Structure 1
Amino acid sequence: MNQREAPLLAALYAHCARDYAHLHVPAHRQGEAVFPEWQGVKEILQLDLTELPGLDDLHRPEGVIARAQALAAELFGAGQTFFLVNGSTVGITALLLALCRPGEEVLLPRNAHRAVLGGLIFSGARPVFLEPVILEEFGIAAGLTPRAVAGALEEHPLAKGLLVIHPTYYGITGDLPRLVGLAHRVNKPVVADEAHGVHFPFYEGLPPPALQCGVDAAVQSMHKMGGSLTQSSLLHLKGNRVDVRKTAWALSLLQSSSPSYLLLASLDGARRQLATKGREMLERAVGLAREVRQILSRLPGITLLGEEHLGRPGAHGLDPTRLVVSVRFLGLTGYQAARILARDYRVQVEMADYYNLVVVVGIGTTRRDCDLLVRGLQEMVHREGGRQPLGACPERPPLPLARLTPRQAWLAPSRPLPLEECAGHICAEWVNVSPPGIPLLYPGEEIGPEMVEYLQWVRKLSLLVQGPEDPGLASLRVVVC
């Protein structure tokens, strides 16, 4: 196959060149009726079409979409690739639907993305959560240890598979080949949430991609590091441990019946760009990131996550394009530092947590972007230095007891209850706090007194909370028994 092709992109432009009478949706008619602010992008909007002759159908691909997916499969080393227009979230959800039936167990890292919750609710699966390694210096989660995975496989012989994160949001990878070997030894499939690792195959200075490590399925957010439009992703299958037919059915159920051809075309074009220019673009990005790392590592009060913090089970490798910058010893939270950078220096970072900033140097990052970041942090150190370092976070409570599956808790009647009265009740919602990005509660888990005390501390510090109906944590929604 010729990786210089972009068959879907070419078919869309060929369709536009024929100057059809467009008596079909979408209503803006290739940009003719678009609102005034978008008049300047009418050329792109011409490609916002629907399932017309010659443009194929994502839910039954036989033409240009099928070929575009086949080109992606060849490039990434998959047996079959599916284009996703509902983000990596839909890929993770579909894989859990393909693997599990109600009540069946699946092994999951506790720091899995919230897409996993949707998959558990749809499938009715019973999660077996494994605790990831914590890098205490940064207060963040890394990967699973081989020991934890081996123990879980022995204790749960009927589990339908193992999900891994490769890499984490912080760019950390575990010893994935070893984890895959442990699971395959007992014929269990391994599926990878590789949302932040689509660029790994294209430069030798990056961690090995999940498919190369032997996983049976991988979901990648092409838009995050590969250059496609936001919300466009890829799902790869390899081997026969994950049922292709069930996966396709799940995707057909979950994905929009009116998929965006702009998203699909961006996947095709981004795949071609990675195939033809990916190494060159990533070499430049890695070089810029290394320069920034060298400068920032010399600033007092600033600590960067590096190879010296790894070399332990669960923390095997690091993506050099992702800089984790701890501002803890400046006496600032990551949230405060991110606000200062945006307000005073016109710098937007990828993410902030209590201790850290996460900075992504991607294929489109410019030297000016990096210079503004460096200048902003240099001046922040000068202005804000001299404070007392942030204190350590209280120890996170142990994993709660699961009383119901997430699906059972989701479907059960529930009501809000003041946080101080929640001990002993079953949680009906998802509660995640950063640091360390590990959900404190899943639907169906019992809320213990230690958890209430910890959440009161979270509330006092106004930490970022995701999931609950009341993000201020005055109350939690609990199951009505």
Structure 2
Amino acid sequence: MLINHEHTPLVDALEEYSNIKAVRLHVPGHGGGPGLPKAMRRSNLPGWDVTELAGLDDLHNPTGVIAAAQQSAAELYGARCTFFLVNGTTVGLQALIAATCSKDRALVLPRNVHRSVLGGLVISGASPVFIEPAIVPGFDFAAGFSPDKLDAALRQSSGAGAVLAVHPCYYGVVGDLGGLSEVCRRHGVPLLVDEAHGTHLRLHPALPADALSLGADAVVQSVHKTGGALTQASWLHLGGKRVERQRVADALRLLQTSSPSYILMASLDAARKQLAFKGQAVLDDLLTLAVDAASRINQIPGLAVLSKEYLGGPGAVHYDPTRLVISVRKLGIGGYAAARRLAAVHGIYVEMSDAYNLVAVLSLGTSRADVMALVGAMAEISRSVGAGHAADRNCNGLSPAGPPLPPQVMTPRRAWLAKQKKVNIEESRGLVGAEIIAVYPPGIAIIYPGEEITTEVIEYLLQVRKMGVHIQGAADATIKTIRVVDI
């Protein structure tokens, strides 16, 4: 078969998306350019694509300009030190797990962590001790977990290497992280925080408090999501001294690319400056937009926007209003169908959808016109489907929170390295899974390697398959088969 080398499918697809002038209510937060720092918008990016030349420092042993840029970021966030990441928050989380956990030191974590955590568990050999997070009523997604549940888990798992929390979750909700920090201090265990969606929290008093200010020992933030950097540009902050700096640096040298992008690192440096000088002012405008949009959408029949009235308990104490979580449950079409209609009919692309909800991210690159376009489109969708008629008829009961936790039979590392075989999903009950399967977004695992495949997991996967929901991790993207440990 001859290949047409004139064809550039990826380039063509990106050019097409760029040319349609889409309303981008998704990450990266620069919105296709408007939210980028001026230094990045006016730069000669090809000329910035260099290697470790004289005067340009070395990410893996920084003593010059990279070290100075990292120190400036640390000062902005009140961190003991900051590491620039060019492999996203994924590598930061994996490095922290590798630096604190091992086969003899478990990782205590909520089930709604991002699937990238699996890499840290496989590398470290640690056993996961999962905690069931709180479910937000009316929206049915998982949020944080309570200090009481953490205390019980640490009492039962003596010698835990670390606790990992998500702050905020993908839907913008935070739990009682200060309470979790107190529990960790009592047990002498470091608190690691996935703050991928919270780069901006520290910069405005109306937002939930950031993780470092609440006592976290180590925090990873996706600066590209809400901070104006380019995709894959993240940073890792160390707070207290329970996480050893050298161990983290060693893990990052092992896991990060040996050819780091200077363009990504420059975008971190430029984003830090923009956040320091303009962050609060931009967030003032975004919060005003968010409140106005929520008020307008709440008046549309069949729709509801997440607000404080839906929160309660230590697992869901506050939320980020710049993340519009819109329930379409009463429309009866489901979040997936609503997102497809927004894109196909209105050219509006939201960050994510689930069975009941849409999540639209308002960030540095979002304009008032973008937000009003969303409001108008949601009104049109409500009119077109007839709100309140046969509510929930197409949601199929696929809860965003996922099925109940399956039993853990072996560590993820042992299952990952074990001999494996492929079986039909319908015939996998009672077997031990050898791969991770996650609905993406938000990337929360339905099953981890080493867990028993239960009836509830199978039923959930069959629903996912029927609805054609996008998944990651599985070798068979059609979810007809699943890899299991060949015992």
In the superposition, the TM-score normalised over structure 1's length comes to: 0.89
Q: Deviations over 1:150-186 (max 9, x none)?
A: 1111111211110000000000000110110011111
- Taking the TM superposition and a 5 Å limit, the aligned residue runs for 1:163-182 are 163-182=164-183
> Are residues 1:135 and 2:136 paired?
yes
Q: CA deviation at 1:60?
A: 0.5
Give the conservation status (yes or no) of the 8 Å contact 1:354–1:463. Answer: no
CA deviations over 1:247-292 (Å, ceiling 9, x no partner): 0000011111111000001100100111111111111111111111
2:20 counterpart residue number: none
1:303 equivalent in alignment to 2:304: yes
Question: What SS class does the counterpart of residue 389 from structure 1 fall into?
Answer: coil
Q: CA deviation at 1:393?
A: 2.1
Kindly, what percent of the aligned residue pairs are identical?
A: 49
Q: Are the counterparts in 1 of residues 144 and 169 from structure 2 also a CA contact under 8 Å?
A: yes
Instruction: For 1:117-156, list aligned pairs within 5 A.
Output: 117-156=118-157
The corresponding residue for 2:10 is none
What is residue 45 of structure 1 aligned with on the other side? 46
Structure 2 CA distance for aligned equivalents of residues 81 and 351 of structure 1: 30
Q: Cα distance, 1:341 vs. partner? A: 0.7
2: CA distance between counterparts of 1:353 and 1:438?
A: 12
3-state SS of the aligned residue for 2:349?
A: coil
Contact 1:341–1:376 under 8 Å retained in 2: yes
Are 2:353 and 2:441, in contact at CA under 8 Å, matched by a contact in 1?
no
Instruction: Give CA deviations for 1:65-106 in whole Å, capped at 9, x if unaligned.
Output: 001101111110000100000000000000000001224211
What is the SS of the residue equivalent to 1:69? helix
Matched residue, 2:467: 461
Q: Is residue 82–residue 234 contact of structure 1 (8 Å, CA) maintained in 2? A: yes
Specify whether residues 223 and 394 from structure 1 end up closer, same or farther in structure 2 by C-alpha distance, changes over 3 A only.
closer
**Structure 2 equivalent of residue 388 of structure 1:** 390
Aligned to 2:278: 277
Residue 91 of structure 2 aligns with which residue? 90
Residue 428 of structure 2 corresponds to: 422
SS of residue paired to 1:51 = coil
- 1:147/1:282 CA distance change after superposition, 3 Å: same
Residue 472 (structure 1) aligns with: 478
Residue aligned with 1:477, SS: strand
Which structure's relative contact order is higher, taking Cα pairs within 8 Å and 6+ residues apart?
2
Q: Distance in 2 between matches of 1:102 and 1:388?
A: 51
CA RMSD of aligned residues (A): 1.7
How many residues align structurally?
442
Structure 1 residues 436 and 264: alpha-carbon distance in aligned structure 2, compared to 1, 3 A threshold: closer
User: Displacement, 1:439?
Assistant: 2.2
TM-score in terms of structure 2 length: 0.88
Does residue 453 of structure 2 align to residue 447 of structure 1?
yes
Letter in 2 for 1:151: A
1:370 alignment counterpart: 371
Residues 434/67 of structure 1: CA separation in 2 closer, same or farther (3 Å cut)? closer
- Quickly say closer, same or farther: Cα 1:348–1:454, change in 2 above 3 A: closer
Q: Compute the displacement of 1:454 (Å).
A: 3.4
Counterparts in 2 of 1:434 and 1:244: CA distance versus 1, 3 Å = closer
Find the aligned partners of 1:57 and 1:185 in 2 and give their Cα distance.
38
Looking at structure 1, the residues matched to 195 and 49 of structure 2 have their Cα atoms a distance apart, in angstroms, of 28
- Distance, in Å, in 2 between the alignment partners of 1:372 and 1:165 is 31
Q: Does structure 1 conserve the Cα–Cα contact (< 8 Å) formed by 2:102 and 2:161?
A: no
Equivalent AA in structure 2 for residue 413 of structure 1: K
Q: Which residue of 1 aligns with 2:33?
A: none
Gaps of 5+ in 1: 1-39
Return the index of the structure with the highest Cα Rg. 1
Equivalent residue for 1:194?
195
1:450 deviates by: 3.4
What's 1:29 paired with?
A: none
Is 1:406 aligned to residue 408 of structure 2?
no
